[in-house]
Amino acid sequence: MSLRTIDSLGDLKGKNVLVRCDLNVPLKDGRITDDGRIRASLPTLNRLIQAGARVIIVSHLGRPDGEPNSKFSLAPVAQRLSELLGKAVVFAADTVGSAAADSVAGLDDGDVVVLENLRFNAHETSKVAGEREQFAAQLATLGDAFVSDGFGVVHREQASVYELAKALPSAAGLLIRQELDVLERLTVTPDKPFTVVLGGSKVSDKLAVIGALLPKVDRLLIGGGMLFTFLVAQGHRVGASLLETDQVEVVKGYLAEAERLGVEIILPTDIVVASAFSADADHLVTAAEAIEDTVFGAAGLGLDIGPETSDRFAQAIADSKTVFWNGPMGVFELAPFAAGTRAVASAMTTFDGFGVVGGGDSAAAVRALGFNDDQFGHISTGGGASLEFLEGKSLPGLEVLGWQR
């Protein structure tokens, strides 16, 4: 079977269509700080509006632990969605209660309603299939069809992702199709040279991706907190930098495997080391093998790749035809340690090839550093889902829509 598309649902005029979006955007003091995921949902929503569907949007936001919590309300998201769509968007203060039922009953063709946070109901993420099925059945009473478009959650068996797709005629939205096209391009037919840039804090989060991609890539660039486990695997000391000692031997194995396959692994040659985890901390640049030889001694913290490494990474990207990047190069939220991430982002906007920013912290970083989405080949909306796809794992939210590898 192939992935079912919106066309498979037939004429949607006058139909109630439940749409599972991923509108899990960052909020600060009730204000949205990055609306990238909301904007990514617009093509599918506009397609349904133009078809005359009555659009019922469901999503999660944060981790409210199965109980209503105003801190995680989707009300600000509904307001921003109204601005982006250029039309009124109704907000219902519950998911399967009277507010939702009344709001849906009041819809006309082309109208849109956003239901409250799915995760205010503990059955949305329950480990018990029967509880998820019960919640999905309640949601299904509101709709005639279901469109799954939250790529960031397709790796989860959750009521609104998996069971709801079984309870109603279902199809994938345009965002999911786009994300799959990009990931299949990376894994099946990447133009060479193919470079993967990995960062972020924990090497353990990326080991399966490294293992899956090593036979396919030409070079692997390592930054972020995970780089220190690689340095220790090479015999260096890293002071008080982030380190996963239980992964050192595994990393040694990957270094050996890369050498066997002829894959170039580029590790940082210089590091920005600080006296503390703070924007105000004293900091300096030192050679990667000399982190403990600075004035900070064994208390020194590596918080970014250095300028020499940044230039080397940028050159490796420039020499590539395909680049996949997941994970910042340093603590980009603190200005003194953002240069490495900015250098990688800048290189990805100018090289002559196809560049993919792998969602999650990477997407947040490029926007926080002032880059626009259209400067990149693609910015994924699904950090974890993208990684699990690349690892070759099962993605239940796609398989239930007819997708097969």
CATH code, domain carrying 238: 3.40.50.1260
The annotated binding site for substrate is made up of: 22-24, 37, 60-63, 119, 156
Q: Are residues 102 and 221 in the same domain?
A: no
In this structure, the strands spanning 219-222 and 54-58 are unpaired
Report which of 83, 82, 92 is spatially closest to residue 114, judged by C-alpha positions: 92
Q: Same structural domain for residues 74 and 146?
A: yes
Model pTM score: 0.91
CA-CA distances (angstroms) from residue 66 to 118, 129, 283, 340, 359?
9, 16, 43, 38, 25
Residue 182 lies in a domain: no
How many other CB atoms are found less than 10 A from the CB of residue 285? 15
Catalytic residues: 37, 202, 360, 384
Residue stretches of the annotated binding site for (2R)-3-phosphoglycerate: 37, 119, 156
Angle in degrees, CA 374, 375, 380, rounded to 5: 65
pLDDT at site 399? 96
216 C-beta neighbours (distance < 10 Å), count:
17
Q: pLDDT means per 10 residues in the chain (405 residues)?
A: 91 98 92 92 98 98 95 97 98 97 98 98 97 98 98 95 98 96 90 96 88 94 96 96 95 96 97 97 97 96 98 98 96 96 97 90 89 92 87 93 90
- Domain termination residue (choose one: 143, 177, 211): 177
Residue 404 lies in a domain: no
Indicate the residue among 177, 206, 229 that finishes a domain.
177
Q: What is the pLDDT of residue 405?
A: 79
Same domain (yes/no): 13, 140 = yes
Quote the CA–CA distance of 105 and 124 in Å, as a whole number: 23
Q: What is the rounded CA–CA span in Å between residue 353 and residue 317?
A: 9
- The binding site for ATP consists of 206, 302, 333, 359-362
> Among 155, 177, 199, which residue terminates a domain?
177
How high is the pLDDT of residue 63?
94
Provide the pLDDT for residue 364: 86
Report if residue 66 sits inside a domain.
yes
Long-range contact pairs involving 124-130 (C-beta distance under 8 Å, separation at least 24): 124/60, 124/66, 124/158, 124/159, 124/160, 125/66, 125/156, 125/158, 125/159, 126/159, 129/157, 129/163
At CA 337, angle to CA 233 and CA 219, rounded to 5? 45
**In this structure, are 170 and 200 located in the same domain?**
no
Same domain, yes or no, for 250 and 305? yes
Domain span at 210: 190-390
Say if 141 falls within a structural domain.
Answer: yes
Q: Is residue 222 part of a domain?
A: yes
> Does residue 273 belong to any structural domain of this protein?
yes
User: Do 202 and 69 lie in a common domain?
Assistant: no
Q: What is the pLDDT of residue 203?
A: 85
- The domain tally of the chain equals 2
* CB atoms inside a 10 Å sphere around CB 67: 10
Residue 299 domain-assigned (yes or no): yes
Tell me, what's the pLDDT at 404? 87
Locate 377 and state its tokens. Answer: 């080949």
Query: 145 and 238: one domain?
Result: no
**Residue 340 domain-assigned?**
yes
